[in-house]
Amino acid sequence: MLIGITYDLREDYLRAGYSPEETAEFDHIETINAIDDSLKNLGFRTERIGNIKSLIQKLALGESWDLVFNIAEGMLGTAREAQVPSLLDAYGIPYIFSDPLVLTLALHKAFAKNIVRDSGIATPDFFLLKDIADVEKIDLSFPLFAKPVAEGTGKGISASSKIYNHRQLREVCERLLREFAQPVLVENFLPGREFTIGITGTGKKSEILGVMEIILNENAEKEVYSFDNKENYQARVEYKIATGKIEEECRDLALKVWHILSCRDSGRIDVKLDEEGRPNFLEVNPLAGLRPIHSDLAIICELQKMPYIELIQRIMNSALERNSGD
């Protein structure tokens, strides 16, 4: 079986003049090597396709693959994660992970929160700010939290994302609107512990890989899992597998969200506790990073002594089974 691999290589975009933050979601060569090596060790033949432009060229030449292992994030637009899957759908080529609808919905955090909240899952009250004049329409109690509505990997998030007053709210929203050219999600800041939950599988066969608590050290940016904290996680962040009642509550919430949104194969759900200690949905990542050791999903596996190749095998098993027609 021939597996194509689609991806955006971070170093290519850095060489083209993009900043480290602009390219934060793109993959390092070690990720591509690890996925490629794992697939070969599992008995598959592989071809490195690259980004969407390379994929278009190959499709135009009539090339095809039995399955595509797609981790391409895309550069432009709020539907950028859906661009490669949409092309593959048009050519009838099956691929790993969620479909274009889910990827587009999940990237737009406000849309995802609306659906999750309407399904009865707790999430912080929020406001979608599209223009700076909308600041006057926000009727939420401080402290608040602001971030770009369609970014990942902590992009646009820093210590200033926690907001205490109207002046700071205006300043932060003006900066985010200018820097990211997209709406800003403003929501109530939750003071409790933060968790991320890894999942593999699809539908009724979905399984929790682990519930991992994110603990910021003294030298980290305070109270926020920011871009800088993620980039310097080895010195600033401690990760711990949760157990007991809170693990059960996070597990239950994550699986419900996974099923509500019809996510596939593997990904992560981010959760934070409110002032009463109840888990609240923050966001879903159906195209989670797979960088060995560094990415949250890989860290969850490492903390539980699960080899990286087993994670890739679980992802492949899910994709192959749902594409088999059984």
| pLDDT 10s digits, 122-177 | 999 999 999 999 999 999 999 999 999 998 877 888 889 999 999 999 999 999 99
- What type of residue is 73? E
Domain ranges within the chain, ordered by starting residue: 2-95, 125-188, 191-322
β-bridge pairing 67-70 and 279-285:
unpaired
Non-local CB neighbours of 166 within 8 Å, separated by 6+ positions: 135
Distance, in Å, from the CA atom of 126 to the CA atom of 187, rounded to the nearest integer, reads 4
pLDDT at residue number 325: 61
Distance, in Å, from the CA atom of 134 to the CA atom of 137, rounded to the nearest integer, reads 5
Topology (CATH) of 2-95: Rossmann fold (3.40.50)
pLDDT in tens, 104-127: 999 999 999 999 999 999 999 999
Topology (CATH) of 125-188: Dna Ligase; domain 1 (3.30.1490)
Percent of the chain with pLDDT over 90: 83
Distance, in Å, from the CA atom of 158 to the CA atom of 179, rounded to the nearest integer, reads 14
The three-point CA angle 123-129-130 to 5° equals 135
CA–CA distances in Å: residue 153 to residues 165, 220, 228, 294, 298? 26, 16, 10, 12, 14
Distance, in Å, from the CA atom of 8 to the CA atom of 30, rounded to the nearest integer, reads 13
Among the listed residues 100, 154, 176, the one whose alpha carbon sits nearest the alpha carbon of residue 283: 154
Residue with tokens 């329409």: 137
Among the listed residues 255, 269, 216, the one whose alpha carbon sits nearest the alpha carbon of residue 239: 216
Residues in the chain with pLDDT values less than 50: 326
Topology (CATH) of 191-322: D-amino Acid Aminotransferase; Chain A, domain 1 (3.30.470)
Residues recorded for the chain:
326
Which letter, b or e, does each residue of 245-282 get, where b requires 16 or more Cβ atoms within 10 Å of its Cβ? Answer: ebbebbbebbbbbbebbebbbbbbbbbbbbeeeebbbb
Distance, in Å, from the CA atom of 181 to the CA atom of 177, rounded to the nearest integer, reads 5
